[in-house]
Each structure stands twice: as structure tokens, then as C-alpha cells.
Structure 1
């Protein structure tokens, strides 16, 4: 019993030493702080931002992110979804300086998914936390490019017929004593003059459609009259191209809007169909009601539209085959005008196409619920 006392004393001393050592270590190395959490006010501010916002902790884990940050792929699996964003965050942490960059990022990890242009601002919040705010400028950059292309294309399109007219006039002047030559080049001059007039009118139509009061004189419009007028405008062109023009479908339908604009939209669809039809082909116009919608479909038997071009054919001056457009006289504005007219009338324009078999363009408009009874003076439609 007496022999065990030294062992007990040694154990007691060792225990005191270990306890003192642990106490000193705990004083020198404080416990890790609790995970930082955003206040409800800060979270509400992030949710209200139009831009995508992300708050990262010191380990680059996402503490908070707005829904748009997930939808555009800035955040994936609780981390930043792009290496360029992570590099920008590291640079801010390194020197504490706020950074602002415009980055071009892939929309997703899938090949061919396209890119987005974002303006990114990164700022330190303290304790290793970082705030990243990204604003999507893709649409704005595309609009700027469309505007530049529009100005360049208008200049080019106007220059071509004007230059041709100048050369033809000079040729006619030099061949004044040759009636056959004068007649031949005079016909060419008339063709270029019509092309120039059509282009100027399309630019005027497009400018008018961009005004907020484009439909200030909206009225009840008979779809039968719109289709008949549009068909009459292109009938001579159809005969010259040896294309059969057929009009059919449901009658007596009405929509609210501007009759001239609607006739222009249908005529542009018919012009497009005729230009892409083969000789001895057929172009059809069909009208039908589907619920609260009126659908005007223009069907051709042309070469069809490649799948990679269908999303761009309604852009101003876009022409998938510029050589064919020059040969057929297309300006690249017709379908863009149709799209604007449809939108101003609360409708839409859709396209179905198969290469080698043809295309169907469908103008969808809200159906008018009011009807007007014909007067005694009115004849059958």
C-alpha cells in the first residue's frame, strides 16, 4: 500500500501539467468563430437587386446568392461556376481592392451553349467574406451590334440601287441614239427604282413600328379584307414567277388593330414565300380560329430554312444566303417588320420549316370578341 503512493503522486503531477498545458493552448488558440450569417436586412437587399449577387465566405463557399445567380450559372453546387470569377475573387482577397471587370462566360458547361457578357464587381466584406455582383449585358451588347449592323446595312442597301441608277443613267445618256439599248436600260432603271422605293418604304414602316403610338388608331379589322388586299398586292409577282397563289380557310374573323399594318405583314410573308418558291410551285394562305386566337398561315414549297438560321431570320437585314437575296431582291427587312407588327398587335409570328420541302409562317393575333353586322350597302365578302 505504501509502495503505491509514489505512483499516485506521479499521476497527479502529470495530470496537473497536462491540464495547465491545455489551458495555455486554449488561451493562445481561440475557438473558431461561428459561421458568419447575413442579417435579414442584407439578405433582403440581395434579393431585391436586379443584378445577380453572391456572398462568399473565406473558403469560397456560397453563403448567399440571388436566384438569378443560379439561373445563369454563376453558382453551381455551392461554389462559383466559372474559374474567371474565382480568379477575380482571389485578386480582391490578396490586396483588398475592389475590382470591376467585364467578362465573357459560357452559358453552361455544354458545348455550343453560347456565351454571356457580364459586368462583374467584387468587393471585400471583412473576415475573408467577399461580395460579387454581376450584371448581364448580353442583350445590351447584342442591341448595340444590331444598331451598328442596321446603319451599315442601310447604307449598303441604299448605295447599291443608287449607284446602279447612276451607272444606268450614264449608259442611257451615251446610247441616246440607240432606241433598243435605251429601252433595255430604261427597264433596268425602273427595276432599281422600284427596289429603292421598296427599301425606303420598309425602313419607314420599321421606324413607325418603333413608335409608342404605332396603333393609336386601332380599329376592328376584317381578316378577310387583310388577306385579300395582301394577295392582290403580290398577284402580279406570283404570275411573273409562275407560282400559283391560293387563298382559303375560315371566313368572317376579326381582330383589333391597324388594317394597313396587318396587310403589310401578310404581304411581306407572301413576298418572302414567293421569293423562295420554285417555278410552277404553290403558295397558300390559310386563315383559322383557335380559341381566342386568329392564325394566318402562309405556306410555300421552297427550299426550306436551315435549322441554324431559324432563330435569326426575324433580325433586321439578316439573310441566310446573301447571293440569293441579291438575286431575288430581298432586303432582309420584311420578316423583321412582320415580327414588330405582330408584337404591336399583341400577337406572335412562328415558323415551321423542313429543308427541301418548304416553310410555314404563321401570324398569330388575338381574336376580337366584338362583331360588326354588315350594312345593306355591303356586298358579300
Structure 2
């Protein structure tokens, strides 16, 4: 057992040794020789203990320390106890790692431990089953060299792959769909998680096909109903009772036609495919047209519009999809802003990318509703939404269009103080007018 401070006892013993040597030397009239002999004796003893100490360290730290006295006993005991604590910590860490790996092996989802450059350090059995990883050939290989799906490679290459997940077919079976997420941990390390979502993918495909097919089948009869109601309304305008019913029929059939059109557009956007033929969209021109449409929609309510565009800033994408998304934002601002209210549209760029913001001083949105605004048919106020003639799909369309263009939607709003919707696009999709390739915008 390690004692307290050994130095008082050591010094007292050394003092007693040299005092005894001095007395003997004085008695024998050989003081210098006696003191020299005492010093040599002390050095020999210390050298012997130093040899035993080095031999103990060299031959094996697993052995108990040899018996010793004084300062050396203190050193042996202190080092031995420190070794025991280190061994105990190592055993605890090994047990913890074993439990971690056992729990990771038991997970039904694939788990892959990646280094900073996405090299594979370890994986569980589910990763071998879902991603086709094989030991030991795939160890320390780049994950993108094994799973070569273009969308997965693009997912890893993006600046912030941890902000979202991606759904892709398994490399072993194209009928099995995986939801893949990248989670950072530690210092420059990642966990790649892959979950089998085949059942959900099939249900989503069935739902999308059903909505698309039903909407397509409804489109023709609704067009016929609207046309007949319009014709009868013109012919029977003199009969107030019948005319009111025909106008109501015409309004409701037009509303249903808009709903069907939005459902068809949303069904097409939900396929997840990127725009097949991207083009450089002249955003200032497009926004000028949409603001004019917003003024026409405003009509007698006389909203004050303000459009600010950074000249020559183009965006790569599908113009028809972008037009649909941006028009929904501007038209929503018109619908939910009282007469003579302010609506500001701004297109600008900074180091984070390009931004389209639509700001109004309308009724605003309570904070509890903001996370659900992009859900299909979600309404903050059902009565007010129905009165405005909305379909409840506008912001869902905006979300899917932005996803297809690798963009994000940010909503800031307070009840009674208005709202701001900001669409942020990555720098890679930008180009200045007159240049051939994209380049980062000026801050």
C-alpha cells in the first residue's frame, strides 16, 4: 500500500547513516574515508534498486513489484497502482466497446462508421445485407467506390449532406429502397444510417399513382361541366334564380379544376426526378411577370408592390416549375394581406447562395402552424382559406419544386405583423449574365 510523503523518513535515514560514518571515522581518525565509504554504500544500494526497477519494467508489467524499502517501495507501489487503474479503465472500455458493437450488430438498420474522407472503418451485419459490404475487402475503402449510385455520390459530394436524407434503391436489389442519412460525430467522423423503407416507398407510389390517375380522370368531366355552366349562364342570364345557381356551379367547377391541376402538378413533382432539361432562367424577367399577375389578382384592393432584383443573376432550373412555386408565394401574399397592404419581392445573392424573398404585412401565421405549412391541404384557418379560393396545395408545390432544385424554404412570421417566405438556392445553380459557367456571387 502506498504511504504518504516518504522524504522525511528517507532524509532521516541518510542523516543517521552519515552521522554514524562520521562518528566511526572520528573515532578511527579516518573521517574522510568513513564518509566516502558511506557514500559508496548508499550509491551501491540505490544502483541495486534501480536495476531491480528496470528489470521489473523490462520483463513484464503484469508481474507484482519486487519487495523494497523506503523511497523505492513508494515508487514501486505508486507505479503498480497506476498500472492497475489503467488496466481497469482499459477493461471497462473494452466491455463498453463490446456492448456498443453488440447493440450495433443487433440493429435492423444498416450502420457504417466512416472516417472524415468517407472511408469505411466498421459496419454491422445489416449493412452487409442492405449495402452489400464484404469483410475484409471493403474495409478502409471509400463508400462511394462501393455504392456507385449517382444520386448517392451527389449526396456525399454536397456541402451539407447531413441536413437531409436521400431515398435510393439498394445496390443488391433494385426493388429494395433505402432511406440513407449521414450523421456527424466526434472529430471529422460520420455514421451512415440506412433503413429499409421498401414498404413505405410502395405505399407512397400507390398513393401518388392513385391521386394522379383520379385527377387525370376528373379533369375532362370538370372541363365539360365548367363549359356547360358557362354556356348556360350566358343563355339564361335574364333569369336571376337560375343565373345565380349557374354562376355558383361555374365557380365551384372552376375551383375543382384548379384543385385537379394542382394535384396533377404535385403528383408529377413528387416523382423526385430532377428537371429533365434545365435552363438558365432570367429571374428578373420572370419575377416582373409574376408581380404583374399579382397586381391583376389584387385588383381593387390596391396592394403596394415592390420588386427588387439583382441585375443579371440567372438561376439554372425548370422555368415552368419555378414559375409555379414563385407565383404561389406571391399570390398567397395577395390573398392574405388586407387591402392597401405591402408586398415586397426581392431576388439577391450572397455567400450562402441566391435568395428569393416574398414579404407582406398581412395577417401573419402563428408559430405553431409554421412547421406544417408545406403539408398537403393543411390550412391555418379553414374558413379564411376557403373564402380566398385556395386549394391547400400551394406551399406543398413550393416545397417539392425547391427540393428538386436543391433549395430550402424558410418562413418567418408573427400574427398581425405579416410574413416572409425565403427560398435559398445553392451557389452552383447561379450564373451572371454574360458568363458561360456558374461562379459564386459577390457578397
TM-score (norm 1): 0.54
Contact kept in structure 2, 1:348 and 1:364, CA below 8 Å: yes
Find out whether 1:260 has 2:311 as its counterpart: no
Contact kept in structure 2, 1:238 and 1:245, CA below 8 Å: no
Tell me the distance in 1 between the aligned counterparts of 2:402 and 2:291. Answer: 18
Q: Find the residue that maps to 1:277 and give its secondary structure.
A: coil
Contact kept in structure 1, 2:281 and 2:314, CA below 8 Å: yes
* CA distances 1:242-288 after superposition (whole Å, capped 9, x unpaired): 32222124222111111111111110001111111111212111111
Counting only pairs closer than 5 Å after superposition, residues 200-279 of structure 1 correspond to structure 2 as 200-279=260-339
Partner of 2:367: 307
Contact kept in structure 1, 2:316 and 2:430, CA below 8 Å: no
**Residue of structure 1 aligned with 2:357, choices 276, 282, 297:** 297
* Bigger Rg, which one: 2
Quote the offset at 1:327 in angstroms: 0.7
Counting only pairs closer than 5 Å after superposition, residues 313-324 of structure 1 correspond to structure 2 as 313-324=373-384
Name the CA shift for 1:339/1:180 in 2 (closer, same or farther; >3 Å): same
Find out whether 1:373 has 2:434 as its counterpart: yes
Find out whether 1:334 has 2:426 as its counterpart: no
Find out whether 1:355 has 2:411 as its counterpart: no
Q: Find the residue that maps to 1:310 and give its secondary structure.
A: helix
Find out whether 1:49 has 2:107 as its counterpart: yes
Q: Find the residue that maps to 1:211 and give its secondary structure.
A: coil
Tell me the distance in 1 between the aligned counterparts of 2:355 and 2:110. Answer: 39
Contact kept in structure 2, 1:238 and 1:244, CA below 8 Å: no
Tell me the distance in 1 between the aligned counterparts of 2:415 and 2:237. Answer: 50
Name the CA shift for 1:258/1:179 in 2 (closer, same or farther; >3 Å): same
Tell me the distance in 1 between the aligned counterparts of 2:384 and 2:100. Answer: 58
Tell me the distance in 2 between the aligned counterparts of 1:290 and 1:214. Answer: 25
Q: Find the residue that maps to 1:315 and give its secondary structure.
A: coil
Determine which structure has the larger helix proportion and give its number.
2
- Which moves more between the two structures, 278-287 or 344-353? 278-287
Name the CA shift for 1:38/1:244 in 2 (closer, same or farther; >3 Å): closer
Quote the offset at 1:52 in angstroms: 10
Quote the offset at 1:202 in angstroms: 1.0
Contact kept in structure 1, 2:237 and 2:243, CA below 8 Å: no
Name the CA shift for 1:232/1:198 in 2 (closer, same or farther; >3 Å): farther
Find out whether 1:325 has 2:371 as its counterpart: no
Q: Find the residue that maps to 2:398 and give its secondary structure.
A: helix
Determine which structure has the larger strand proportion and give its number.
1
* CA distances 1:65-91 after superposition (whole Å, capped 9, x unpaired): x9xxxxxxxxxxxxxxxxxxxxxxxxx
- How many residues are matched? 248
Quote the offset at 1:312 in angstroms: 0.4
Tell me the distance in 2 between the aligned counterparts of 1:314 and 1:223. Answer: 23
TM-score (norm 2): 0.47
Q: Give structure 1 stretches of 5+ with no counterpart.
A: 1-33, 54-65, 67-134, 375-381
* CA distances 1:324-356 after superposition (whole Å, capped 9, x unpaired): 111111111000100111111010111000111
Backbone CA RMSD of aligned residues: 4.3
Higher relative contact order (CA 8 A, sep 6+): 1
Name the CA shift for 1:237/1:188 in 2 (closer, same or farther; >3 Å): farther
Name the CA shift for 1:240/1:45 in 2 (closer, same or farther; >3 Å): same
Contact kept in structure 1, 2:313 and 2:433, CA below 8 Å: no
Partner of 1:199: 259
Partner of 1:58: none
Tell me the distance in 1 between the aligned counterparts of 2:106 and 2:361. Answer: 51
Q: Find the residue that maps to 1:299 and give its secondary structure.
A: strand
- Which moves more between the two structures, 221-230 or 271-280? 221-230
